[in-house]
Structure 1
């Protein structure tokens, strides 16, 4: 049994971790999403070329979810062979669609191709995807399932030894291949952030306003970390970016990209908990978009990103919302990140 740390030591460790997370060079704390969105369609080569361009522009890390017909860890492995140092973040793989040992095997294979360049995210996803598309029942304990999934996944990757008997997983696994790969979980509600503080190396919210993350999510994250006497991991805030000063055009472009989420119960609860309730007639959507999007000129967007990075938010995951010219606006966003 490990020795329990006293409260003073634990607080000091948490403070040191928070300082480390928020004093790194700004550019290292910002990543960009590649081919994000439910409507995104792409080939492997298109993604690889986008990642190569990002690396050439000085981007330190990229993000890509597991959405659509192509497997993100496989795409990342192909991209790793054609890049030098850019870091890869999978954000996230739905836990109900892939056994943790299978995901561990994929991560271990990637680490042998590009050691130290992967961060792996997992999350329970939603019933629309899991039950309607995959036909897998989620039950009523998705957070408990995520907790068990993380236990098996971490042990398989870090030790190669898993003897686990839980409600959702019964695993007997013994291998010699191991790696050190940070593991993060998606989080929306305060209980999920508390769980992230207990078991993960980072919390990855989506469509969560920054004030909500600072005022409610961060205290929950710290509470979870404190309960396990471990340093609090960073919150990696998802920020939408629209490089346009045409407010109406931005509203239309953002709504087109996020309309799917606005009807999902847990996002409705998230927005209400953040103080931006959405009405059935769309009331509140303008305020929500204002809270979620860094918008305007390149200078205005850069200023907003710097403001967020000056808070206790650990990192940013930026998603471009194209308004007029996607390629031009994407190039602008790469330059903004390069200026940080």
Structure 2
């Protein structure tokens, strides 16, 4: 079973540190890790840690240019615009994991296609995935002569008989997400007024129908997060398991 992170903010972790952690996890899990990373929400990175949040795309490209060789066990000697890194990480029996990038905007999606192995999304609906996310990253990878990228689409799901209550509860829980500029841009693209508009909710039949419809968007993976009360989450998990089999 694949083990993934979605996602680790990199501003707080030097590439040498993250490479060491990732390869140690690979060795401990029999090389089952997919490493999902991101620039982090600017408001949190700046306010909580006091770290710079300007030029996130340039910073991420440079970070990946250092991280990828380290994950391959290569030595780096890098003195760049934003990073200094000298050394290597060696963990016996650890293979370099795939690296997926949290990417929503066009520039970050191009980095994901050109330098990473794919992208992870959240707060993106089917229309945005089909018309923006998948075409942008796929073109970037093709132009760079790289393989077809993975696109892991994150959705929250609730199998319930009270869809209205589920959406109201979700809106209350994730109200702040709708104010984050990175997510707000995706909601606006989708024509959604709030995060609850992207919640996949309803009875088993309606949820399965909406999940099956996601196949046409071009995504390669679904990252499903059950939400709601304990009963709803149990029903959601059972429904997802049945869909997979």
TM-score, normalised on structure 1? 0.67
Separation in 1, partners of 2:39, 2:117? 17
Residue in 2 aligned with 1:206?
122
The answer to whether the Cα contact below 8 Å between 1:123 and 1:186 also exists between their aligned partners in 2 is: yes
Alignment pair present for 1:289 and 2:212: no
Q: State the 1:275 CA deviation.
A: 3.4
Number of the residue aligned with 1:317: 223
Q: CA deviation at 1:205?
A: 1.0
Q: What residue in structure 1 maps to residue 70 of structure 2?
A: 156
Over aligned residue pairs, what C-alpha RMSD do you find? 1.7
- Say which SS state the counterpart of residue 270 (structure 1) adopts: helix
Task: State the SS of the aligned residue for 1:121.
Answer: strand
Which residue of 2 is the match for residue 136 of structure 1?
A: 51
Deviates more, 1:111-120 or 1:168-177: 168-177
Query: What residue in structure 2 maps to residue 180 of structure 1?
Result: 96
Aligned to 2:207: 301
The answer to whether the 8 Å contact 1:309/1:315 transfers is no
Q: Which of 17, 29, 47 in structure 2 is aligned with 1:114?
A: 29
5+ residue gaps, structure 1, are 1-85, 277-283
Counterparts in 2 of 1:175 and 1:250: CA distance versus 1, 3 Å: closer
| CA contact 2:20–2:89 (8 Å) conserved in 1 | no
Offset of residue 274 of structure 1: 2.9
Unmatched segments (≥5 aa) in structure 2: none
Please give the secondary structure, in 2, of the residue aligned with 1:111.
helix
Helix, strand or coil at the partner of 2:150: coil
Q: Does 1:268 align with 2:188?
A: no
* TM-superposition CA deviations, 1:186-211 (whole Å, max 9, x none): 01112221221111112011101111
TM-score, normalising length: structure 2:
0.91
Which structure would you say has the larger RCO, counting Cα contacts within 8 Å and 6 or more residues apart?
A: 1
Q: Which of 14, 18, 26 is 1:99 aligned to?
A: 14
Instruction: Tell me how many residue pairs correspond in the alignment.
Output: 241
Distance 1:175 1:317, change over 3 A: closer
Superimposed CA distance per residue, residues 202-241 of structure 1 (whole angstroms, 9 cap, x where no aligned partner): 2011101111111111111112112211122121111111
Runs of 4+ deviating beyond 4 Å: none
* Partner of residue 194, structure 1: 110
